[in-house]
Amino acid sequence: MKKTALAAIAAVLVLGAGGASAQTLKFGLAEDPDALDPTLARTFVGRLVFSALCDKLVDISPDLKVVPQLATEWKWSADNKSLTFKLRPNVTFHDGEKFDAAAVKYNIERHKTMQGSQRRGELSAVTSVEVVDPLTVKLNTSAPFAPLLATLTDRAGMMISPKAGQALGDKFATAPVCAGPFKFVERVAQDRIVVEKYDGYWNKANVHFSRIEFRPFIDATVRLANLRSGQLDFLERLAATDAKAVQKDSKLKFASITEIGYYGITINIGKSEKSKTSALGSNPKIREAFELSLDRNGINKVVFDGLATPGNQWVAPNSPYYAKSVPVPKRDVAKAKALLKEAGNPNPVVNLVTPTTTDASKIAQVVQAMAKEAGFDVRIQATEFATSLNMADKGDFEAYILAWSGRPDPDGNLYSFHACKQPLNYSGMCNPALDEVLNDSRLTTDMTQRQAAWDKAAKIVSAERPIIYLLHRKWLYAHRAKLTGFKEYPDGLVRFVGMKM
């Protein structure tokens, strides 16, 4: 009798323990990711899934410092033209293949050469990859390129199994094999992506879920309803308007962090002929008046329920890389009016191209109302997003509301937008003094010197206003109250290692 009772208790304990470790995290995404191949991928939701599947050479910390992941240490050469990584020993890919220097070489070269690669630009500075020994790899660059290290904290630093990569070629996304905490199980387009714990993971002691199911819900209200009803345990991009309700709900927890990206109004100051005929594009005084007419706090309150961070640079005021010498200007309608009078155009017309997303449309309406008080006649050109990008590319706009998701190294928010003739330079900004400063910031790995260069850049950009930066959104999350170990990162991604429920 006693024996049976003991056996029963033991069985319960074993089953109970089994239950605790065999836990599934049901994760709500805001959209269905694109191809699950780090070389080809480009969406934010895709990166959320990769954060379970694919470890990177290095990661960032919540305060944007580069920290070890698959590489344990790194060193720039004296001339800053090569970066050497020491790799973590005994790491395997999900197919059991060894992760070593040769695998790193394969991956970087794949990023650089594969047809359709979205990483080519990020890694353009890398000229060759040398295998020094099985656990040491050296990346050589054509010129000193400080942003390289931070680039490797994202998809460019993700490592896939060379064996699987060679076998699947451009079909790798159908069955991705990486070296992250979870391995790929299945994907049903627009329905779910399932991954399960990889037992050979180098840090498996800190992986507490046995499975993660990612499911896309485009509508934020529906996403939250699914969290409330138990179909989800965690969701990303909570609607700002739902934040209060989640905070009040004892079964749920709310989390947020300021993004590394921004919302801004790009102004065509030289991209095309249109810059010469538009009031904003042709006259810096009118641009200054336009900025002075805007109240960033007001936009924040109306559009984001006060949950964003107003700002005037490519990084938020609470970022370690913010140029403190160029503070956020206050609204000054009287001065704006005076400037317009001085410019001889008291009622300038501004055609504002606005993507049809909810946030952008709301921002446009608030901007329209605020600028009107200073005399501006803002005309909103609501345009579907893909079309608006085309227009920006061709310079077929006067002003354009555009968000940028941000990169951990400020260079990723800056260079391509403001250096002469760069691919994302929609404003047509081309200022040799700025180009020099921006190049300086890339040549040295000394953070004090880089910051000095960014401070100079902030002065030039805030005076010329190719982009009027408005604010930095917050990443908003909601999850079950019993889920612990979640830590917010400014890149908006979720690190699943360490989370449990």
State which residue, 156 or 339, has the beta carbon closest to other proteins.
156
Integer angstrom CA distances of residue 100 from 93, 95, 316, 394: 10, 14, 37, 44
> Using CB under 8 A, which residues numbered 42 to 61 contact other proteins?
42-43
Residues 6+ away with beta carbon under 8 Å from 31: 43, 45, 216, 218
Cβ at position 216, least distance to other proteins in Å: 7
Q: How far is the CB of 184 from other proteins (least distance, A)?
A: 14
Sequence letter at residue 74: W
Q: Distance between CA atoms of 5 and 90, rounded to whole angstroms?
A: 44
CA pair distance 260, 313, nearest whole angstrom: 11
Residue 458 CB burial class (10 angstroms; 0-12, 13-18, ≥19): buried
Among 89, 134, 230, 320, binds other proteins (CB under 8 A): 230
Question: At its nearest, how many Å lie between other proteins and the CB of residue 347?
Answer: 31
Contact 138, 156 (CB under 8 A): no
φ, ψ dihedrals at 349, nearest 5°: -90, 135
- CA distance linking residue 400 with residue 394, whole number of Å: 12
User: Least distance in Å: CB of 393 to other proteins?
Assistant: 7
In angstroms, rounded to a whole number, what is the distance separating the alpha carbons of residues 41 and 384?
22
Residue 174 touching other proteins (CB under 8 A):
yes
120 binding other proteins? (CB under 8 A)? yes
Q: Binding string, 357-386, against other proteins, x = CB under 8 A?
A: ---------------------------xxx
Sequence-distant (6+) residues with CB within 8 A of 263 are 308, 359, 360, 363, 401, 402, 403, 469, 470, 471, 472, 473
Interaction between residue 170 and other proteins (CB under 8 A): yes
The reply to whether 72 sits near other proteins by the rule CB under 8 A is no
Q: In this complex, which beta carbon is closest to other proteins, that of residue 173 or of residue 323?
A: 173
Instruction: Give me 175's structure tokens.
Output: 């069955």
Cβ atoms < 10 Å from Cβ of 369: 12
Compute the least distance from the CB of residue 461 to other proteins, in Å: 19
Query: What is the contact mask toward other proteins in residues 183 to 222, using x (rule: CB under 8 A)?
Result: -----xxxx-----------------------xxxxx-xx
- Kindly tell me which of 338 and 424 has the beta carbon lying closer to other proteins: 424
CB of 28 to other proteins, least distance (A): 9
Q: Which is nearer to other proteins, 102 or 185 (CB)?
A: 185
In the region spanning residues 407 to 436, those forming contacts with other proteins, defined by CB under 8 A, are 423-424
Check residue 173 for interaction with other proteins (CB under 8 A).
yes
405 binds other proteins (CB under 8 A): yes
Does the protein bind other proteins through residue 313 (CB under 8 A)?
no
Minimum distance, C-beta of residue 428 to other proteins, in the bound complex (Å): 15
* Residue 427 · residue 353 · CB < 8 Å: no
Site for other proteins, rule CB under 8 A: 31-35, 37, 40, 42-43, 115-118, 120-122, 170-171, 173-174, 188-191, 215-219, 221-222, 225-226, 228-231, 384-387, 389-390, 393, 404-405, 423-424
